Amino acid sequence: MQMRSAPSYFSKQIGFHQRYRIDPVNSIYRKNFCRPKSTAEAKVLAAKKHSESERRRRMRINSQYTALRKILPNLIKMDKASVLAETVRQVRELKKVVADTEAACRGSGSECVIPSGVNKLSLEKCEGKQEGLVKATFSCEDRPGLILDMIRELRSGKGRVVRAEMVTVGGRTKSVLWVKGLGAGSEGIVCLKKALNKVIVDRPSII
Partner DNA sequence: CTTCACACGTGATAC
Partner DNA sequence: TGTATCACGTGTGAA
Instruction: Check residue 184 for interaction with DNA (CB under 7 A).
Output: no
Q: Least CB distance from residue 63 to a second copy, whole Å? A: 9
Q: Which does 53 bind (CB under 5 to 8 A by kind): DNA, a second copy, none?
A: DNA
- What SS3 state is found at 157? coil
Distances in whole angstroms, Cα of residue 178 to Cα of each of 130, 153, 174:
11, 15, 14
Is beta strand 134-141 parallel, antiparallel or unpaired with respect to 172-180? Answer: antiparallel
Interface of this chain with a second copy, residues 140 to 199, rule: CB under 8 A: 147-148, 151, 160-171
Binding-site member from 31, 79, 108, 127 for DNA (CB under 7 A): 79
Instruction: Check residue 60 for interaction with DNA (CB under 7 A).
Output: yes
CA distance 157 to 113: 27
Q: Which residues contact 202 (CB under 8 A, 6 or more apart)?
A: 119
Binding-site member from 23, 27, 51, 143 for DNA (CB under 7 A): 51
Instruction: Check residue 43 for interaction with a second copy (CB under 8 A).
Output: no
The residue among 26 and 108 lying less far from DNA, judged by its C-beta, is: 26
CA distance 106 to 120: 14
Q: Least CB distance from residue 48 to a second copy, whole Å? A: 13
Say how far residue 139 (Cα) sits from the centre of its chain: 17
Q: Which does 160 bind (CB under 5 to 8 A by kind): a second copy, DNA, none?
A: a second copy
Distances in whole angstroms, Cα of residue 162 to Cα of each of 86, 136, 145, 155, 188:
48, 12, 21, 13, 16
CA distance 162 to 186: 19
Binding-site member from 27, 30, 41, 58 for DNA (CB under 7 A): 58
Q: Which does 190 bind (CB under 5 to 8 A by kind): a second copy, DNA, none?
A: none
Element (H, E) at 60: helix 39-71
Q: Which does 126 bind (CB under 5 to 8 A by kind): a second copy, DNA, none?
A: none
Burial (Cβ within 10 Å: 0-12, 13-18, ≥19) of residue 105: middle
Q: Least CB distance from residue 162 to a second copy, whole Å? A: 6
Binding site for a second copy (CB under 8 A): 2-3, 55, 57, 59-61, 64-65, 67-68, 71-74, 80-81, 84-85, 87-88, 90-98, 100-101, 104-105, 108-114, 147-148, 151, 160-171, 204-207
